[in-house]
Chain A
Amino acid sequence: MTGSQEVGKAREATLNLRHEIELVTPALRRFAQALSSETEELASGCGDDIVHEALLRALKYERPPHGLSVRLWMYGLVCNVHRQEAGANQAVARDIRMRRHHTLREANGALWPEPLVAVTSALQKLDVEIRECLLLVALEGLSYAEVTEVLKIPMDVMLARLSRARATLAVQMKYNAVRPAPTGTRPLPSAHLRLVK
C-alpha cells in the first residue's frame, strides 16, 4: 500500500512540475530566442531547440534543486544549454552568417522596423554573460536578487554586467544608426517603416 502511495505521490509531483514548467514555457521561448539570435533566420529554431533541451533536462527531476522556484531554475537551464550550444555551434553559426550576410540584412529590413533590427544586431554583439544578464532584467523582468540566483553570481558582479551590457548596447545601436549615413547613396529598404509604440 505504502509503495503504491509513494508511486502516486511521485506521479503527482511530476504532474505539478510539468504544469509549472508549462506556465513559464512561453517566456522561456522569448528569452531563448533573444539570447540565441545569432542570425535572424535561425533565431526561432535555435531558441526552440534550446528550450526543448532545457525541458528534457528538467523532466529528469521531480522538483528544482536547492529550493529554487521552477521559473528561476528553468531560466538557469536555458542559460546553461545556450552556453553549451553556442560553444558547439560557433563555427557553424559563423559560417552561415558569412554566407547569408547580405540576404539576411535585406530580409531583416523587410520584416522588422529599423530600430528593432538595430537592437537585435547590437544584442548579438554582446558577450554571452552580459547578454544573459541584460535580457533577464530588461526583457524577462526578473529582480536583481532573482538574477543572482539564476546566474549564481554575487550582486556586484551582476550590476557590473548589467551596466556593461547597457553601455555596450547603446554604443552599438548608435554605431548601427550612424553607419549608413556617410555612404548616403544606398537607402535602407525599411526607410518607410517606423516603430509604433
Chain B
Amino acid sequence: MSDVMLQASDADLHRYVDGEGAQREREAVRQWLDVHEDDAARVDVWRLQRQLLHARFDGVLRESLPAALSLRASSATRFAISPQATGLHTGALRAEPPLTANLSDDSADFGTGHRLLGAYILGFCSALVLVCLLLLVHGN
C-alpha cells in the first residue's frame, strides 16, 4: 500500500493509458483510478478514442499495396519515376470511375474512326498501284 499516490497528474494518467512507465507506477495509478471516478472516466474516453481510431483506419493495413508504393518488383531506378509520370500527383489514383469510363469510351470511338480511315486509304493506295501496274503492262 506504500505505492498509493497522493495525487495522479495528467501526465501520469496518459502514461498509464499508453503503457508507459514501470509496473509499480502503473499499479499506483490503477489504485488511484479505483477511487477517483472522474479521472477513471477520462481514461475510459481516451481508450475509446484509441479503439475508434483503430476501427476507422486499420482497414488500410489489410489492403494490398498500390503498385505505385511497392518497392518489391521495381529496381532502384524504376521507382525513381517522377510522380507526374505515375499520375500520383495528378489525382489518377483517386480518379472517379465514371470519368475514366467516359474517357475510355471516347478513346474507343476515336480508335475505330481511325481504323476505318486507315482501311479507306489503304484500299485507295492499292487500287492506285494496281492501275499503275496495268498501265505499265499495257505500255510495254
Contact = CB atoms under 8 A, between A and B. Distances in A.
A binds B: yes
Given A18-B76, A163-B14, A120 B88 contact: no
Interface residues of A, number: 47
A30 B61 contact: yes
A169 B49 contact: yes
A118 B45 CA distance: 14
A163 B52 CA distance: 18
Contacts of B14: 159, 162-163, 166
Nearest to B79: A59
Nearest to B94: A45
A127 interface: no
A44 B49 CA distance: 21
Contacts of A19: 71
B76 A137 contact: no
A48 B54 CA distance: 18
A148 to B, nearest CB: 12
A56 B15 CA distance: 35
A26 B65 CA distance: 7
B55 interface: yes
A53 B93 contact: no
Interface string A42-57: 1011011101110110
B97 interface: no
| Minimum-distance CB pairs A-B, first 4 | A45-B94, A119-B52, A30-B60, A138-B50
26 contacts: A14-B76, A18-B71, A25-B69, A25-B70, A29-B60, A30-B61, A34-B57, A41-B94, A44-B60, A48-B88, A49-B93, A52-B69, A52-B83, A52-B86, A52-B88, A55-B79, A112-B56, A119-B52, A138-B49, A138-B50, A139-B50, A144-B15, A166-B14, A170-B42, A170-B45, A197-B55
